[in-house]
Amino acid sequence: MQRGILLSKKEGLTYTEITKYLNVSVKTVESQLGIAFFLLFEKELLLK
């Protein structure tokens, strides 16, 4: 799902556009990006 994060933030694609590009469901994109952003946020808090 690293590619999904890059598509979302760097390329500015919506979740719907990402689903078409990666051939996965919207729910998959939502859950995987949610987990990824949570982990990034958690890591950021631990580094402070």
pTM of the model: 0.72
CA distances, 47 to each of 7, 35, 41, 42 (Å): 26, 18, 10, 9
Q: For tokens 């590009």, what's the residue?
A: 21
Tens digits of pLDDT across the chain (48 residues): 677 777 887 788 888 998 998 899 999 999 988 998 898 888 887 776
Tokens read off for 26:
């919207």
